[in-house]
Chain A
């Protein structure tokens, strides 16, 4: 049984990690595409239109990969998590179906129109199609986050005698206090990713002395979007999320902050430290006293419950993974703010395009927003453990009892092989598009 849970979780973690590489870019990029197109309509400078069309090609490749890698997710609910789907389908089925019916179709239809229809529709309608692609991709995020918010903080439900969850209040799904902060935090984090992608392509062009005008535009736009989004992702949205975790999932909050023992007179914030699960303490810790209490409750001396206040069954089952995921996310977020603030300052001083070490840094930083986004999701998902639906349905009660661990392992290996192939294809396609550049013959 333990084996079955482990492999089911491992397979889902692998497939969703790979899947989330793609939508995290498309959501943020769609906003930047709308910006480029809107700028073009205002100033009629061709490079803005080139940029919108160029990034829509990158968007299309990512969107396609997102569709392909999203298919196993849909199947896995039935294959690996049949009991979970059977019990909660009456609720999560609503939001997941809305995601498919409203967002996916909106996004894919208008994506095709944006790519093919500029000449037919004219510039204003072309902007509108770009906006509808953006709307579709953000609505998609909204419905997925609504599903996840219900799992993190279940509301508006009733449990029948047979254990099935049914929806009692439809609007409660969307007014869930967990949803809005999680949505804003997630969307802004995806804007951070897209900003770094746009800026790094710009840095690449400048360093290669190729497509310089577009390179400068990409770098400038990426840096401005990156600075704004990396600040907003920390405050207020990240702060709001953390307060939600402290309020609704206090055991998860203690674990992700690395608080083993409750301190009566205010909790410290841990900057660095390694969880020692045997001795129940953090090794080699560097911490600042009372800051966590202040950040969470605006009270320096407010007590925050440590893991010692909770039963073992209530604590997340992998405290080190949760602790490291959270700290990697926060650490990287801080680095992003620093880099983007420096780049924005140099942009203002008109020196950014000539400082090669910074251009190299921006170019090579591109994988890190992806890592930060993924570790953010790991924090949310590991923090919810040992539950699938927080406080109501344990993960061990949601798996498919008839699917063996050997079967799951076999398909996991298959996914690894196929995803390596897809990943390679993705890199070739994106590399080719970047190499052609925004002023390719296709434009």
Chain B
């Protein structure tokens, strides 16, 4: 009982996911299929990876608006190196991941050392990364490389009819590592403490500076990883990739039950948030009559209801505590 009450937002999110998926399954023929379930994961893998990083940043009470632009930069950076300069993909990936982490660390340093608002600094990071992406190339660049072909044809067979593509596996890996970091390592607990009250965290002797800079670096790294997954998924790099991705990621984190003020949340909620997001998207596709803009309106409505729910829960907790 106590476990359920403590994780109430998570339980509510899970129930909503089940209800949405069930309703879609009843309404649309063929929605209950392994194919839909696996594509739910594969299609949203890069969004999910970015959302995991965003969750950790939001744990610490921060926000990162730059991730969509970093995804765009990474995708065109990788494509330019692999297709234009014949660099082996593995080297291009390592460089891209290092650049993503470096941009994150730089933003984290500005935010922590000079006490600048994360909103403004990551906004600058977004402009910077998007501009650099267009400086590399203004057009989409296709990637043809044996390794890319092998990876896009790769799937992991779970039984006879269940096949998981590489992107979905990577997403699961990131969720697992993110879960360990957030809820079983000292780093995650430090982030939640900072998000709860930075002054108290400092007085407790926690490494506030290192954790804050570290979480932005980690988020930059994950955004770059999401960009690489996006190149695998589309077989190309494009500077406009990931426009508005940061908003979807923030919405997913909130739907997943994490408080945007920081200090409270659960990483698995973000996984559920990604699944809810994907379910709405697939249902709109299945329906065919609903236009794509209903996606935006439904996500907005979900955001509103979750925020109101959180408000109510937090008030309840405050009264009891």
A, B: real partners: no
Residues of A within 8 A of B (CB): none
